Structure 1
Amino acid sequence: MSHFGRSRLPDIKDTYSLLVLNINFRTTADDLFPLFDRYGKVIDVFIPRDRRTGDSRGFAFVRYKYADEAQKAVDRLDGKNVDGRNIMVQFAKYGPNAERIHKGKIMEAVPKTRGRSRSCSPRPS
């Protein structure tokens, strides 16, 4: 029986995915792998590409086997300059570990500009 029909990211419950934002469009998985592999066992590096053009979409996913290694990579690489861009590294929003780590942070990320304004006068429509 073939296991290729399953999702692109198998065994997600046993791995820790990091979302890497703001990567250079020329940066490849081969560039990122050695950088992240310094901090632990990297299972894979995935850079989503635009379906039409095939170009990088400017972010990547890096999967680690162990949570403490993933956390170390976040601590060391978040804000690091890679190929001229300061990358942002955080735990991805899916998987069993994501909800626990991101609780609270998600709530703060809601833009404060929406909703009620401070003035009592109604806005002209």
Structure 2
Amino acid sequence: MDTNNNRLFIGNVPFGATEEEIKAHFEKTLGEGSVLEVRIIRYKDTGKSRGFAFITVKDADTAKLAIEKLHEQPLETGDVSRNLIVAEAKPSQPRQDR
């Protein structure tokens, strides 16, 4: 990671996962208070999860540790377990008209 980015992309999130479950999963490894925000991306029309999220952690070192320790590690929610994709979030790009 070559920037001071403390925002992470989390992919392959189980559709039933909550913000609280994701936060607890990351703080179990990174330490309590290390996750500042979790935002699951949802479909506007249904409110259902799109299967990915963004999290903000306290600093770039914590973000790097999250990538090293949690990328491709399972998140278990209920009876579903999926290996997460954890990567540095890319800056958002303006949407082009379709």
Moved over 3 A (4+): none
TM-score w.r.t. structure 1 length? 0.61
Unaligned runs of 5+ in 2: 93-98
Superposition pairs for residues 24-103 of structure 1, below 5 Å? 24-38=14-28, 39-40=30-31, 41-83=34-76, 84-94=81-91
Deviations 1:57-110 (A, max 9, x none): 100101012111111011111001112111100000028xxxxxxxxxxxxxxx
Unaligned runs of 5+ in 1: 1-13, 96-125
Aligned length: 82
For residues 25 and 67 of structure 2, the distance between their equivalents in structure 1, rounded to whole angstroms, comes to: 12
Alpha carbon RMSD of aligned pairs, Å? 1.7
Residue 15 of structure 1 contacts residue 63 of structure 1 at CA under 8 Å; is this kept in 2?
no
Q: 1:18 aligns with which of 8, 14, 33?
A: 8
Higher RCO, 1 vs 2 (CA within 8 Å, ≥6 residues apart): 2
Q: TM-score, normalised by structure 2?
A: 0.77
Greater strand share, 1 or 2? 2
Look up the equivalent residue of 2:39 and give its one-letter code: F
Letter of the 1:30 partner, please give it: E
| Structure of larger gyration radius | 1
